[in-house]
Amino acid sequence: PKQTPGGQARKQLDAVVEESIKMSSERADFSSSSRYPCLNSNHDVVAELELKGVDIFMPTSDDSSLADDFEEFASFVLHVRNKECRSIILDDENDSVGQLQGGTEKCCIFRVSFPEDTPTSAASLLLDYFNSATRRTCSRSALTTAKIRQYMLNMCNRRCRQRNLDIEYNCLGNCMFIIQFGGPTNGQVRHIDNMIPNLQVCLYMSTNCPSTIVYAMDDQEGPSVTDGRTLIDFWHRQRRETPNLVEKILLDWGSRNLRSKWYTRYFSRWISINKQLQCFGRLYQNVEYQLGLADAAPGTTLIAGGNEIHAGPPTSEARMFAFSVAMPSDSGGHQEINHNDGKGGQIDTETNDGETQYNPLLLHLDFCCIAYSILDYELASPSNGQEIRESKIFLINLLVEVIRDYPTCGMSARN
């Protein structure tokens, strides 16, 4: 097949990526379950998360019965009927089962979707098996996806009341169980899910379940990275000598629609460099400290508003929780995207359900491909060959730094 410019740029980087991953595994120690500074108490963690727009709610007395059901269901899947439940997941024929980044060859992390009106999905079969084995024969006692959904919606609206927000949530999307049958695992790479204006909801079900880790980033005493100009400023605060051509790309090409040129249209999902950095740019910053609960009780719910940097935690044993995306009633979870390329353009809508995800490595790798294409097809001339090479070396050196901070040798991620 014919090589595309984006494909050519990727191919140029492959060898560097592979070698750098080997280097990172030799030089870094990823054995600690906490790679960054942590707060000392759960109370401090919850308070700090609240300041960042992330809420953790414990079940109330009215929720206690359902929280007990969650715990019993998780124990049933992970321990009591481990073999049978694993078979239900592996034998799925409805494309409702996948794997998440962060597991190992010996211990996978499964995502088991529970779409509405799909009685033969693996999630529905797990619940049916649990209800049958525990003799929950009537609708009042049976644990169902509807009850799980409603519990998560109630927690979202509890958040709105606590924060005095005039918003109501009555719709969930991308609902799934996250199931890990054992351990240990390395934990996920820190990343951002494109969520705005929606909420990310994590309902922990298994006992002593470590919560999602949320990261506080080091701004280097300046603004966060949200576009090309703030990325340049951030590099300057790090005392990096940024090549003129790299700065020119970020400043002069930052707002240009990437689909307007044949050699960058393969990254048109970015819309523009600035649009991508608005959502994901903080991934360029270093971690200052991490926030998470070591042992969230069943029924505990984490709700994150906005595009927070987070990751699944390293684990030593089995773990299970439910995940969903809560959508405001007035938006339907959609965000308008203006693809204006100077020729009339078009307005699209995107449902930001968390399926578009970037970690630092993938973000910079894609930016390298875009920058290489612009350097080669627009900025290269017979007189600036050395300047082009210096710009590419600068970008590659940044890529190596990002790879060294990668907690696993695998590079798969949910995108």
At 283-318, the pLDDT tens digits run 999 999 999 999 999 999 999 987 899 999 999 999
pLDDT at 405: 76
DSSP 315: B
pLDDT digits 0-9 by tens, 389-403: 999 999 999 999 998
> Counting beta carbons within 10 angstroms of the beta carbon of residue 290, is it exposed (0 to 12), middle (13 to 18) or buried (19 or more)?
buried
Is 353 in contact with 174 (CB distance < 8 Å)? yes
Q: What is the pLDDT of residue 354?
A: 65
Give pLDDT < 50 ranges for the chain.
1-3, 16-17, 19-33, 333-334, 336-339, 341-344, 347, 409-415
State the distance between the two ends of the chain, measured CA to CA, in whole angstroms. Answer: 24
How many Å is the Cα radius of gyration of the chain? 23
The pTM of this model reads 0.84
Pair of tokens at residue 141:
């006692």
Token duo for residue 394: 């600068």
